[in-house]
């Protein structure tokens, strides 16, 4: 089922490089040893391949000309942002041209009457947050990796912690400028709030992992900035009790901004990693909830109700983290979980399945069983409020051979379990290269064929990021 | 650019009808004179064509078998719900089989832990609202036509008044079961809150007006039911002042559920139509705002702030409609606008452009100019809060020839103006058959070709609802 397209492409030659240099100048075309090794992989690491050329683009016209040329000459192209992906989506499997979009990083317009922000794709998530907050506005999507580009976020339909209340990246993309594989430029959506004007190509581009078109501009939806936020750290005697409380919170009329779950061992790793104490580490499991609103009273009414629910369901206590110091202690730990877990082992791989919210406890319990069964360390934390788990399988002292075998068996079990619970392969990290087998297995031939047909509708020569998602 | 596919289809013959009767029984297959004339058109009226057979289906398997047969035998098929569309999307332009989905109208499951409702496509919008409210839950999309089926709503990505705060139908579709044109059945999405598992076919089906697949099941997202709602009726000295207030409301931190605008002449028509008085009809223009929340205090704080903004911007008064009687007077009038305007003339056609919210006033002013310029009555009302206007051009005493000429000229002007204001052809009614020329003009060849490629990715034989949207 994998893409057997390697032979169909032309190998980049002198003439092609000359074209690129004429278009961009020598300073923005990198070949051979001048290409930084970073461009051969993303954060996943397991899969890597050097592109034949990396080009730094500055505007839509350049992207369009490169694509038109590549299309004409049958050259594979991969577009890349910060390279913070976790599934190998931006690895140039067939070499060719890599378009580096990180210098197209201008914030073009903030429109305070329509509550939109227009940006180039290379703007970093952290820059967007900072910029709009200075205007008393709010861009809700909040993936953990703040140094990702907005282009990358759009292409993975990135989620993050605030999805419980605010939804995911797709929900905040109003319009896109897209360069198609043949170099044509289209604008989809716009500043409008509603749209029933033909097939929603905007929504198809969101989450397509750079395979259907290259986003060169995005119009994002903003909200008024909530004035206050408060977090509650709630210890439970065990994880099951903690997670089983979540559907009851969801059903209450107080919608938290985020509901995260964490276990003692992950907290201890974070404390060691940061050299800082978490406000409490004496319990086995915790829920971390955030509430936002426009006044302290609004928020208090909301969290009072939720705290009550938690206590009724067996919570041991409720810590209110309303001081800056406490907030910092909690959220810096939460922010460091991934790195902290990574620091305890030699190598790890992760799965970000999403299951219905009332099946999270069952899934985590199953990973505990797998840990015993395969005698391998598994750590998880994640978004209890939206059913999206991040489960890390740790290599520790396993040999390469043992590691590959066990990892593959454990992943196979986890994805099977996810299907059984009506879950899906990826909640927010995407499919890229690494998760294709699990997607193929879950969706089956008819569904995958339809996706491949859609890919060909955009890219009949299959030159844009080939070998990914559905190929 | 229109579809020249009439000759490519097989004409329905005895053998085909025998197949249908064997599958469904005689009672559920209608041919010739047994077909109710209603099935030849939707609410638009201007375009009509009788199908060769209407079949009443009861389950997914039947739909799948019919599609597989039609695909094999090259028969055109159109799926139909209540037929309340306004752009001819469900008219069987090439005859063939019409699949009537209105008897697939079971509510299959309410899942109170995951806040989802699973329904068949023929369930009516009004039934969904009533059912979920009985469970203290809320399905926010609120299009005016409550007798539409949910399948129809999904296929037009219907909007409605609450889009300001809650978004549109797409935002509340978590998963779909879809029968593809070749009869294969796929499930897209699910009960999960996040999803980055391949191209979002769910979002592509939403708003595809029955051209890409037939929705046979939908998993809808629900919210906790807000406990209270209050409306404010706010008179302004003129429409411009009223509408120019809207961006200021949007920017405040109090997000109303709905912001509608209306003019005196439409209110008078509604009073006459209903034989009931509106609470006030002395001013030229009104905003009607709704606020919902969980307590009277929450709502009061919100609307106090907004009322203040309106008064600062020149509102003449603020009427709070918190009694049942007043609410009924306001909302029954609002609900009757379309019918009331229709009753004042012989025939009318409508355009539902959507423009950025801060350009609404400009667009309405322009329709006033067109009214003068073409000496034709134009009435508008609509969703000031989301930029989606409903503009009605009234025939009155014009001859057929004059009417067609003027209508076409006025529409041409309006859609041109919408493009100039960065608007789009349709906010919520769709493109169907009637609005295709305006979509083609706005999007241009490259964009339309991409849409046609997507259509062929789903339906290489072009048998499902041909001649619509992009063809």
Average confidence score pLDDT of chain B: 94
**Confidence category of residue B134, pLDDT binned at 50, 70, 90:** very high
As given in the structure block, the two tokens for residue A255 are 């919608």
Calpha distance B270→B239 (Å, rounded): 18
pLDDT attached to residue A189 = 96
Residue in this structure with the two tokens 């229109």, named with its chain if needed? B2
- The ipTM, to two decimals, is 0.95
Question: B7: how many CB neighbours lie within 10 A of its CB?
Answer: 6
Contacts of residue A188 in chain B, CB cutoff 8 Å? 447
Once rounded to an integer, what is the mean pLDDT over residues B79-99? 97
pLDDT attached to residue A7 = 64
Contacts of residue B429 in chain A, CB cutoff 8 Å? 196
Calpha distance A37→A44 (Å, rounded): 14
**At what angle are helices A436-458 and A400-420 packed, to 10 degrees?**
70
DSSP, collapsed to helix, strand or coil, labels residue B467 as: coil
In chain B, how many H helices and how many E strands?
14, 18
Taking the Cβ of residue B158 and every Cβ of chain A, the question of whether any pair is shorter than 8 Å is answered with: yes
Calpha distance A41→B414 (Å, rounded): 50
Calpha distance B387→B402 (Å, rounded): 31
pLDDT attached to residue A335 = 84
Evaluate if residue B1 carries a pLDDT over 70: no
Evaluate if residue A1 carries a pLDDT over 50: no
CA distance, residue A167 to nearest chain B CA (Å): 8
Calpha distance B162→B172 (Å, rounded): 13
pLDDT attached to residue B6 = 53
Evaluate if residue B432 carries a pLDDT over 90: yes
Contacts of residue B206 in chain A, CB cutoff 8 Å? 200, 203
Q: Nearest CB to B180: which of A113, A358, A450? A: A450
Q: Nearest CB to B194: which of A168, A200, A224? A: A168
pLDDT attached to residue B7 = 64
Average confidence score pLDDT of chain A: 94
Evaluate if residue A4 carries a pLDDT over 60: no
* B323-380 pLDDT per residue, tens: 878 888 888 888 888 889 999 999 999 999 999 999 999 999 999 999 999 999 999 9
pLDDT attached to residue A313 = 95
Taking the Cβ of residue A159 and every Cβ of chain B, the question of whether any pair is shorter than 8 Å is answered with: yes
What are the sequence ranges of the domains in chain B? 6-103+453-458, 107-224, 228-338, 345-420
The fold of the B345-420 domain, in CATH, is: Alpha-Beta Plaits (3.30.70)
Once rounded to an integer, what is the mean pLDDT over residues B442-459? 97
Beta strands B97-100 and B77-80 are: parallel
DSSP code per residue over B64-108: HHHHHHHHHHT--EEEESS---SS-TT--TT-SEEEE-TT---EE
CB contact under 8 A, A198 and B164: no
Evaluate if residue A183 carries a pLDDT over 70: yes
DSSP code per residue over A228-253: EEEEEEEEESSHHHHHHHHHHHHHSS
**Confidence category of residue A5, pLDDT binned at 50, 70, 90:** low
Taking the Cβ of residue B382 and every Cβ of chain A, the question of whether any pair is shorter than 8 Å is answered with: no
Evaluate if residue B182 carries a pLDDT over 50: yes
Counted across chains A and B, CB pairs separated by less than 8 A come out at 263
Q: Nearest CB to A424: which of B192, B226, B457? A: B192
* B289-333 pLDDT per residue, tens: 999 988 888 889 889 999 999 999 999 999 998 787 888 888 888
Question: B264: how many CB neighbours lie within 10 A of its CB?
Answer: 17
* B26-36 pLDDT per residue, tens: 999 999 999 99
Taking the Cβ of residue A156 and every Cβ of chain B, the question of whether any pair is shorter than 8 Å is answered with: yes
Taking the Cβ of residue B383 and every Cβ of chain A, the question of whether any pair is shorter than 8 Å is answered with: yes
Taking the Cβ of residue B180 and every Cβ of chain A, the question of whether any pair is shorter than 8 Å is answered with: yes
- Cα–Cα nearest to A230, from A286, A307, A159: A307
CA distance, residue A171 to nearest chain B CA (Å): 8
For residue A271, the surrounding DSSP H or E stretch is: helix A264-274
User: Mutation test of the interface with chain B: which of A165, A198, A424, choosing the one with the most B Cβ atoms within 10 A?
Assistant: A198
pLDDT attached to residue A296 = 84
Evaluate if residue A44 carries a pLDDT over 80: no
Once rounded to an integer, what is the mean pLDDT over residues B388-392? 94
In chain B, the percentage of residues whose pLDDT exceeds 70 is: 98
CB contact under 8 A, A193 and B298: no
As given in the structure block, the two tokens for residue A128 are 């967007």
B 182-221 → A contacts, CB under 8 A: 184-186, 188-201, 203-204, 206-208, 212
DSSP code per residue over A348-377: EEEE--B--GGGHHHHHHHHHHHHHHHT-E
Architecture of the domain whose range is B107-224:
2-Layer Sandwich (3.30)
pLDDT attached to residue B44 = 77
Tell the burial category of B211 from Cβ atoms under 10 Å away from its Cβ (0-12, 13-18, 19+): buried
CB contact under 8 A, B424 and A195: yes
Question: A359: how many CB neighbours lie within 10 A of its CB?
Answer: 23
HSE, CB side, 13 Å, CA atoms: give it for residue B124.
12
Q: Do domains B228-338 and B345-420 have the same CATH topology?
A: yes
In chain A, how many H helices and how many E strands?
13, 18
* B249-291 pLDDT per residue, tens: 988 878 899 999 999 999 999 899 988 888 888 899 999 999 9
CB contact under 8 A, B190 and A424: yes
Evaluate if residue A437 carries a pLDDT over 50: yes
Residues A426, A390 contacting (CB under 8 angstroms):
no
Contacts of residue B470 in chain A, CB cutoff 8 Å? 198-199
Once rounded to an integer, what is the mean pLDDT over residues B117-126? 98
CB contact under 8 A, B247 and A114: yes
Contacts of residue B193 in chain A, CB cutoff 8 Å? 163-164, 354, 357, 385-388
CA distance, residue B447 to nearest chain A CA (Å): 6
CA distance, residue A340 to nearest chain B CA (Å): 25
DSSP code per residue over A194-217: ---SSS-HHHHHTTSTTSS-EEEE
Q: Nearest CB to A423: which of B192, B250, B387? A: B192
pLDDT attached to residue B5 = 55
| Alpha carbon B195 to chain centroid, angstroms | 26
The fold of the A6-103+453-458 domain, in CATH, is: 3.30.43
Taking the Cβ of residue A170 and every Cβ of chain B, the question of whether any pair is shorter than 8 Å is answered with: yes
Taking the Cβ of residue A140 and every Cβ of chain B, the question of whether any pair is shorter than 8 Å is answered with: no
- Tell me the CATH class for A228-338: alpha beta
CB contact under 8 A, B251 and A387: no
B 9-28 → A contacts, CB under 8 A: none
Contacts of residue B155 in chain A, CB cutoff 8 Å? none
Calpha distance A468→A3 (Å, rounded): 8
CB contact under 8 A, B194 and A354: yes
**Confidence category of residue B2, pLDDT binned at 50, 70, 90:** very low
In chain A, the percentage of residues whose pLDDT exceeds 70 is: 98
CA distance, residue A313 to nearest chain B CA (Å): 15
CA distance, residue A4 to nearest chain B CA (Å): 20
CB contact under 8 A, A159 and B196: yes
CA distance, residue A184 to nearest chain B CA (Å): 7
Alpha-carbon distances of B89 from A265, B86, B224, B425, rounded to whole Å: 57, 8, 33, 15
As given in the structure block, the two tokens for residue B385 are 């809060």
CB contact under 8 A, A387 and B159: no
CB contact under 8 A, B159 and A255: no
């Amino acid at each position: 089922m994998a893409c057997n397209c390697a032979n169909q492409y032309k190998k980049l030659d002198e003439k092609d490089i000359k074209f690129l240099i004429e278009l961009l100048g020598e300073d923005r075309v990198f070949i051979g040893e001048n290409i930084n090794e970073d461009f051969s992989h993303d954060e996943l690491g397991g899969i890597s391949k050097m592109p034949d050329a990396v080009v730094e683009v500055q505007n839509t016209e350049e992207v369009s000309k490169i694509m038109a040329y590549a299309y004409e000459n049958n050259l594979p192209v991969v577009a890349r942002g910060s390279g913070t992906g976790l599934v190998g989506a931006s690895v140039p499997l067939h070499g060719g041209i890599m378009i580096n979009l990180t210098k197209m990083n201008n914030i073009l317009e903030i429109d305070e009457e329509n509550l939109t922000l227009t940006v180039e794709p290379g703007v970093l998530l952290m820059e967007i947050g900072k910029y709009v907050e200075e205007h008393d506005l709010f861009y809700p999507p909040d993936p953990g990796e703040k140094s990702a580009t907005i282009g990358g976020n759009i292409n993975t339909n990135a989620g993050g912690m605030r999805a419980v209340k605010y939804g995911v990246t797709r929900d905040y993309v109003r319009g896109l400028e897209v360069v198609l594989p043949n170099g044509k430029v289209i604008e989809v959506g716009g500043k409008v709030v509603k749209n029933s004007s033909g097939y929603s190509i905007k929504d198809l581009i969101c989450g397509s992992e750079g395979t259907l078109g290259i986003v060169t501009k995005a119009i994002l939806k903003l909200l008024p900035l909530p004035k206050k936020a408060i977090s509650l750290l709630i210890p439970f005697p065990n994880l099951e009790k903690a997670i089983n409380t979540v559907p009851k919170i969801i059903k209450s009329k107080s919608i938290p901004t985020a509901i995260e779950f964490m276990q003692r061992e992950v907290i201890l790793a974070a404390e060691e990693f940061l050299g800082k104490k978490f406000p409490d580490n004496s319990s086995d499991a915790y829920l971390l909830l955030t509430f936002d609103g426009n006044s302290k009273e609004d928020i208090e009414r909301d969290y009072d109700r939720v705290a009550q629910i938690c206590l009724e369901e067996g919570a041991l206590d409720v810590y209110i983290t309303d001081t800056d110091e406490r907030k910092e202690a909690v959220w810096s730990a939460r922010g460091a979980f991934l790195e902290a877990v990574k620091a305890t082992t030699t190598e790890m791989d992760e799965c970000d399945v999403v299951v219905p919210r009332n099946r999270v406890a069952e899934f985590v319990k199953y990973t505990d069983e797998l840990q015993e069964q395969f005698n391998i360390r598994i750590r998880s934390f994640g978004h209890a409020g939206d059913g999206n788990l991040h489960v890390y399988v740790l290599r520790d002292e396993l040999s390469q051979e043992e590691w590959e075998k066990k990892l593959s068996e454990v992943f196979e079990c986890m994805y099977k379990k996810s299907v059984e619970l009506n879950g899906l392969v990826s909640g927010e990290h995407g499919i890229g290269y690494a998760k294709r087998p699990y997607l193929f297995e879950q969706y089956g031939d008819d569904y995958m064929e339809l996706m491949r047909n859609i890919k060909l509708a955009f890219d009949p020569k299959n030159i844009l990021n080939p070998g990914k998602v559905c190929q």
